[in-house]
Amino acid sequence: MNVAAEAPAAGPGRIRATYLLRTAGDADKVAAIVAGEQSSGTFLPVPGESEALKQRSAARVERLAPVEDGGLPPLPGASPGALASYEMELSWPFANLGASLPNLLAALAGNLYELRDVAGLKLLDFAVPAEFYAAYPGPAFGVAGTRRLAGVAEGPLIGTIVKPSVGLDPAETAAVVDQLCEGGIDFVKDDELQADGPGCPFDERVKRVLDVVRRHEARTGRTVMVAFNLTGEIDEMLRRHDLVAELGGSCVMVSLNGVGPAGVTALRRHARLPIHAHRNGWGYLGRSVDNGFSYVAWQKIWRLAGVDHMHVNGIANKFWEPDDSVVASARACLTPMTKSHRNVVMPVFSSGQTVMQAEPTLARLDSSDFIFCAGGGIVAHPRGIAAGVRSLRQAFDAASAGIPLGEAAKRSPELAEAVEKFS
Amino acid sequence: MNVAAEAPAAGPGRIRATYLLRTAGDADKVAAIVAGEQSSGTFLPVPGESEALKQRSAARVERLAPVEDGGLPPLPGASPGALASYEMELSWPFANLGASLPNLLAALAGNLYELRDVAGLKLLDFAVPAEFYAAYPGPAFGVAGTRRLAGVAEGPLIGTIVKPSVGLDPAETAAVVDQLCEGGIDFVKDDELQADGPGCPFDERVKRVLDVVRRHEARTGRTVMVAFNLTGEIDEMLRRHDLVAELGGSCVMVSLNGVGPAGVTALRRHARLPIHAHRNGWGYLGRSVDNGFSYVAWQKIWRLAGVDHMHVNGIANKFWEPDDSVVASARACLTPMTKSHRNVVMPVFSSGQTVMQAEPTLARLDSSDFIFCAGGGIVAHPRGIAAGVRSLRQAFDAASAGIPLGEAAKRSPELAEAVEKFS
């Protein structure tokens, strides 16, 4: 699950990053090559690469410690030989790049993945100096702001994804949301496949869904938080955000990889609503053992950019990821980036989630500052959507009170049916 | 090198994508699961998922053909069993997402990489219907526009990267560019590590470098094309672009992965100069055999977004990539996306390039519509930068005329020294 044994310390003046490095070469030399490639060196000594220039601009190898090697074959094109694994910490002078996330990525996660001497490389963690926190304000809402807007003072936010993911028109979507609100849901999100397709245009969907939300608000005094997927081009996203805000909505959602860091930062700087960040595509960035990013490193990029909620998969999910890795990701989201710049975001559990995961999620996270999204786990309830929502809330209430699920199910036919269906 | 045996045809109304799929499961069932996950299905049948909805919204498996399996271990968390490989083509209704690149990525390259039944997945190629070409104008300059601005009517553009990559201040950078112009270079680019760091601020660098370029322009009548790395946040990039344009510059450069699709599209829509696209980070997207993207698929995203030059690594490069893969990438850039929307971009060769790669690059690409960037291969020339440039041009002139490098070197001490140094 790729967690660094030793996290890099944020120090004055330098940017630090920790990697899992696999190589068949002399590790000290390879680490120096990586540091050179990512700063003032190239494959040949060049004139102008003076000692003074290196002194002010070269990346440094701060630490290189052998770790157990996973025994996988090397990445293609790697220099041959017996492979070993290392935890490698590099540092860069701040003056090389300044407080810029897009340029931070070029330094931390640029050409180095392509070096021949690199048979495997994963960015495990990083730390940036104070200038970055001055330039990037981080999440505007985080846990406290989300709780305030959703009207949920304590406990997890019980949420769902509109299902079917795609194919409902705006009126059909609003009808589903109506039943969810009827059942007492806290949070609803669009599927990441549903943004502004001709089959379900964004504006019309937002209008119809927020009509429903406001009707229930008048009844309950609480505004169900709906994360509308505004993923698109910059101008589209800003306009869509404004529409949601004007119509009294309280959240927007964005696909991080489809938009990219500069687009997400632009959205953050414009937004006056919480940003729900979807990680679709994370598999190609993080699933390989020996290539890409650990989630611990990757989520920091978006917390700096200033999103408020981050997807972390779920316990016993329908995807590949083991529970330990999911829990580590969720904890990372709740771990302050620095003492003075916490940038804590709300982890979002999803993927095949049902009443069965309520207790283990609460127990393993050791916090209730999270959003728990069940899609099929609500909509596929035998008695319908509202019953699906109620069963999920009952499961969390029971878990919070220390009542075993089986016991709680005896008192609620809705919960009993959910347990039978999803266990 | 991950090239699809059969490229998806752009058809009316549907989006198509081809993948390399590895699985231990029943391939037909797994392909159907992938198609479901990426459209109207989820892990459970849900109410509302009617036949009519599936008919209008479900992704379809268009083709599934066994291909030779590479024998690698599965990605972590994959369902156990004997693995086999397939080329899988899926299609989506246009109405699901509309003409939106960020949302196209959520459909084509989203959650599917995380399915348990997926033991390996690589996006090999894709095709989009005409609506995308109406929404995304593609490259504004491409080959012809670049040649016009650089004043190079035929043959490759001889280029370089300012070296050392980072650490020179604006005046030192301008001094290097002065020598490059003196030597007759066509194209100069910033390193991807050099954008707007406090050690070499963008504005000051642009002013000083363009002073030099204009001085040589007055002498030669030709404007050396300098790709200034404006990578940053959206507002920064647009402002920097305008500065370059106002000062008479003719190109800007952007790091694709650090900025992301929405940011690059915003830059394209604002820009009146060619956009030189740097692929740093490509290793974590494309180096794994069984995860991520093939370059053939990935470069199409950016051609739709509208960049003009795409990095493709180089023959006999310092990185991991074999020559066949490099050549396939460069050819992909020069292959029209459709008959009516060619969107051809100029491939950029770089990475450990010297006089030694001039002839093989021309020969293998079977075109001279490319930019050839040598960094150390110019700057580390024993007689200095200007001699480095001249030796490289001599190498290309000889190759174009069919004269062997050794023969040509006999007539030029500069070329002879370069051959001796770099062979």
Looking up residue A78, the CATH number of its domain turns out to be 3.30.70.150
Is the predicted pLDDT of residue B10 greater than 70, yes or no? Answer: no
Q: Does residue B63 carry a pLDDT above 60? A: yes
Contact A127, A63 (CB under 8 A): no
Q: Do the beta carbons of residue A30 and residue A119 sit within 8 Å?
A: no
Residue A8 included in any domain: no
Do A211 and A151 lie in one domain? The reply is: yes
Shared domain for B222 and B366, answered yes or no, is yes
Same domain, A124 and A153: no
| A129 and A239, same domain (yes or no) | no
CB nearest A113 (choices: B56, B167, B287): B287
Residue B1 has pLDDT above 60, yes or no: no
Residue B156 DSSP one-character state: P
Is residue B3 situated within a structural domain? no
Indicate whether B8 belongs to any domain.
no
- Please tell me the predicted confidence (pLDDT) of residue A10: 60
Give chain B positions within 8 Å (CB) of A1.
none
Q: Which has more pLDDT, A8 or B358? A: B358
Q: Give how far Cα A11 sits from Cα of A127, A131, A269, Å.
A: 8, 11, 27
B312-327: average pLDDT: 95
Total structural domains within chain B: 2
What pLDDT does residue A316 have?
Answer: 94
Residue in A53, A116, A262 closest to B164 by CB: A53
Q: Which two tokens stand for residue B315?
A: 């023959």
A117, A135, A153 — which closes off a domain? A135
Contact B266 A264 (CB under 8 A): no
* Per-residue confidence (pLDDT) for residue B41, from 0 to 100: 80
Does B93 have pLDDT greater than 70? yes
* Domain with B351 in it: 141-422
Boundary of a domain, candidates A88, A103, A135: A135
Backbone Cα Rg of chain B: 23
The answer to whether residue B9 sits within a structural domain is no
Q: What is the pLDDT of residue A1?
A: 56
Q: Does residue A384 sit in the same domain as residue A412?
A: yes
Q: Which of B56, B100, B285 sits opposite A196 (nearest CB)?
A: B100
Whether residue B42 and residue A163 make contact (CB cut-off 8 A), yes or no, is yes
Kindly report the nearest CA distance between residue B404 and chain A, in angstroms. Answer: 25
Arithmetic mean of pLDDT, B27-44: 91
Is residue A6 one of the residues assigned to a domain?
no
Same domain, B130 and B146: no
Size of interface A-B (CB pairs under 8 A): 390
Tell me: do A185 and A308 sit in the same domain. yes
B300 & B279 share domain: yes
Residue of A nearest to B131 (CA): A198
The token duo for B411 is 């007539």
User: CA-to-CA distance for A91 and A58, rounded, in angstroms?
Assistant: 9
Q: Please name the residue that has the structure tokens 């630490």.
A: A63
Q: What is the DSSP string of A86-112?
A: EEEEEEEEGGGT-S-HHHHHHHHSSGG
Tens of pLDDT, residue by residue, chain A (423 residues): 567 788 787 666 899 999 999 999 999 999 999 999 999 887 777 777 888 999 999 999 999 999 999 999 999 999 999 999 999 999 999 999 999 999 999 999 999 999 999 999 999 999 999 999 999 999 999 999 999 999 999 999 999 999 889 999 999 999 999 999 999 999 999 999 999 999 999 999 999 999 999 999 999 999 999 999 999 999 999 999 999 999 999 999 999 999 999 999 999 999 999 999 999 999 999 999 999 999 999 999 999 999 999 999 999 999 999 999 999 999 999 999 999 999 999 999 999 999 999 999 999 999 999 999 999 899 899 999 999 999 999 999 999 999 999 999 999 999 999 999 999
**Rounded CA gap, A314 and A375, in Å?**
12
Across A334-375, the runs of DSSP E, i.e. the strands, are: 346-349, 371-373
Chain B environment of A110 (Cβ under 8 Å):
192-193, 255, 280-281
Instruction: Please state, as a whole number, how many other Cβ atoms lie within 10 Å of the Cβ of residue B28.
Output: 11
Q: Which of A42, A166, A319 faces B116 most closely, judged by CB atoms?
A: A319
Kindly determine whether residue B95 and residue A197, on different chains, have CB atoms separated by under 8 Å. yes
Same domain, B191 and B308: yes
Which chain B residue has its CA at the smallest distance from A202's CA?
B97
> Domain containing B274 — which CATH number?
3.20.20.110
The residue of B280, B350, B354, B422 whose CB has the most chain A CBs within 10 angstroms, and thus the best one to mutate to test that interface, is B280
Is B378 contained in some domain? yes
- Continuous H helices in B100-162: 101-108, 130-135, 142-150
This model's pTM is above 0.90 = yes
Do A183 and A47 lie in a common domain?
no
Angle, helices A385-400/A413-422, rounded to nearest 10 degrees: 90
User: Residue B263: which of A77, A168, A260 has the nearest Cβ?
Assistant: A260
Q: How far apart are CA B97 and CA A195, in angstroms?
A: 7
Query: CB–CB of A47 and B380 under 8 A?
Result: yes
pLDDT > 60? residue B268: yes
Q: Flag whether A5 is in a domain.
A: no
One domain for residues B148 and B225: yes
Q: For residues B87 and B117, state if they share a domain.
A: yes
Q: Could you tell me if residue A1 is inside a domain?
A: no
Boundary residue ending a domain (A115, A135, A155): A135
Decide if A305 contacts A271 (C-beta within 8 A).
no
Q: What SS3 class is residue A308?
A: coil
Total residue length of chain B: 423
- pLDDT the model gives residue A11: 60
In chain A, which residue's Cα lies nearest the Cα of B313? A114
Nearest to A114 among B236, B259, B287 (CB): B287
Residues from chain A that touch B167, judged by Cβ atoms under 8 A, are: 39-40, 49, 53-54, 56-58, 96
State the average pLDDT for chain B: 95
